[in-house]
Structure 1
Amino acid sequence: MTEAVESTEPLPDPAHVQHEHPDVTGGWLRPAVFGAMDGLVSNFALIMGVVGGSSGNDTKPIVLAGLAGLAAGAFSMAAGEYTSVASQSEFALAQVDIERDEILNNETAEEAELAAMFIEKGVDEDVARQTAAQIHRDPENAVKVHAREEFGVDVDDLASPMLAAVSSFFAFAVGALVPVFPYLIGIESPWTAIGLSLVALFGCGAIVTRITARSWWFGGIRQLVLGGAAAGLTYLVGDAVGTAIG
């Protein structure tokens, strides 16, 4: 039987890899995208509800509602994101502490468990056992590897609650400013706000597809339809309420 010949060629330098991936797990992308979308849709719908329930050409209630909706929504989004991300990180760290105790108190079994996970991924048994043993030479390194392999937590890359809060605050504010902006510069016709908001909805939906597998036109049309429907339905509600109490 011919023995396998071990390759002596050096491994390629990772620095020569010519591609990068966007931050898909960090603390800013999701709240920023969600914040901008939510700000645009919610304030657009709010303003259209006030337009539907208002009479005459007085735009003061519309501006007041738009700015109040912007402020309330931005602060609410920031507080919610901070609490959500902080709670998630605290839960993850609690699970890491549990794993650390297991490794310190039952190292042999934990090392065997890690080797078994490598074997399931297709690593040869001998290599898997050697790799697990090397990793367990440093208990803290073992904790990090177990956390990634067992419950998908990167201890060194947990999302920042403050970053999530700030991102969502400013993103929501920018999105919410779009439908009220025409009124702030003296344009009284609601059609300007409607047109600007619909264009912004399409643009936001198209931009989001830059980090997804969808085509830009699909994402744009989907967001335009959903946001436009929300604003249209809220307008009808406002009109019905305005008629009832008018």
Structure 2
Amino acid sequence: MTDSPAALREAHHADVSGGWLRPAVFGAMDGLVTNIALIAGVGGGGVAPRSVVLTGAAGLVAGAISMGLGEYTSVKSANEQVANEVAKERRELERHPEAEARELATAWANRGLPRELADQVAHALRANPEEALRIHVREELGVDPDDQPSPWTAAFSSLLCFSVGAFVPLLTYVLGFTSLGLALAVGGLGLFVAGAIVARFTNRRWWLSGGRQLLLGAAATGVTYLVGKLIGVSGALG
């Protein structure tokens, strides 16, 4: 037996529920923007290159840990909330199976399924309580109880990608260059490349995605540079 064209296409779909892409993208972009802006701020204030490296390294470590912990906690909490709602739905199915079946049939009928057929299918599901629970949770909560993202995957994706992103604007200083402009240029290139890579997963134009990230990062960098410049000038005058 050969697979249908629809089944073959299904095998080529990206994994949108694994929980790694969103924290990875968020971590990389946050690492880039945070450290580019941080370096621009202290560099604009006129600190020595060694202090720029120290500030950037501290921002990398603190930010990566914060991102990892934040992602783990948020995904874990969301999964626990889903589990709590699934438990509620299980109790409802045990206590009021008839009413739950009618509710499910009504939802299907509202989408265009003939009412008689909707009733038949909804009541047939009662013979398989676990499958009935999965269907009810998908219909009422819009989630798949058996396919929740991993908090560990989210945490490590975010931590690792933040670290990589935050290291990019530090690269020139680590290599011995002391030009703030060069560091910011490399950071801007990193933003553009990161945005272009994301376009690979979203089927968007790579140059638009890269340009968007570059513009957003440039705006944040410009603000922090001006703040650093003003504080540096004020400190010198004081």
TM-score by length of 1: 0.89
Q: Which residue of 2 aligns with 1:233?
A: 223
Q: Which residue of 1 aligns with 2:94?
A: 104
For residue 164 of structure 1, the aligned residue among 147, 154, 159 is 154
Larger Rg: 1
Per the TM alignment, residue 18 of structure 1 is displaced from its structure 2 partner at its CA by 6.2
For residue 47 of structure 1, the aligned residue among 26, 29, 39 is 39
Q: How many residues align?
A: 235
CA shift in 2, pair 1:20/1:121, >3 Å: farther
For residue 89 of structure 1, the aligned residue among 63, 79, 91 is 79
TM-score by length of 2: 0.92
The yes-or-no answer on 1:202 pairing with 2:192 is: yes
The yes-or-no answer on 1:244 pairing with 2:238 is: no
Per the TM alignment, residue 25 of structure 1 is displaced from its structure 2 partner at its CA by 3.1
Query: Can you list the C-alpha shifts for 1:192-232, whole angstroms capped at 9, x where unaligned?
Result: 21111111111112222233354222211111111011112
User: Higher mean Cα deviation, 31-40 or 222-231?
Assistant: 222-231
- Write out the 4+ residue segments of structure 1 that deviate beyond 6 Å after TM superposition: none
* Superposition RMSD in Å: 1.9
Q: Secondary structure of the residue that 1:21 maps to in structure 2?
A: coil
Q: Which ranges of structure 2 fall in alignment gaps of 5 or more residues?
A: none
User: Higher mean Cα deviation, 211-220 or 84-93?
Assistant: 211-220
Query: Can you list the C-alpha shifts for 1:14-44, whole angstroms capped at 9, x where unaligned?
Result: 6444652222233111100000000000000
Q: Which amino acid aligns with 2:227?
A: V
Distance 2:159 2:72 in 1: 10
Per the TM alignment, residue 130 of structure 1 is displaced from its structure 2 partner at its CA by 2.0
Matches within 5 A, 1:107-118: 107-118=97-108
**Percent same amino acid at aligned positions?**
49
Higher helix residue share: 2
Distance 1:198 1:93 in 2: 42
Distance 1:62 1:18 in 2: 49
Q: Which amino acid aligns with 1:43?
A: N
Distance 2:67 2:9 in 1: 38
Distance 2:108 2:4 in 1: 23
Q: Which residue of 1 aligns with 2:118?
A: 128
For residue 177 of structure 1, the aligned residue among 148, 159, 167 is 167
Q: Secondary structure of the residue that 2:127 maps to in structure 1?
A: coil
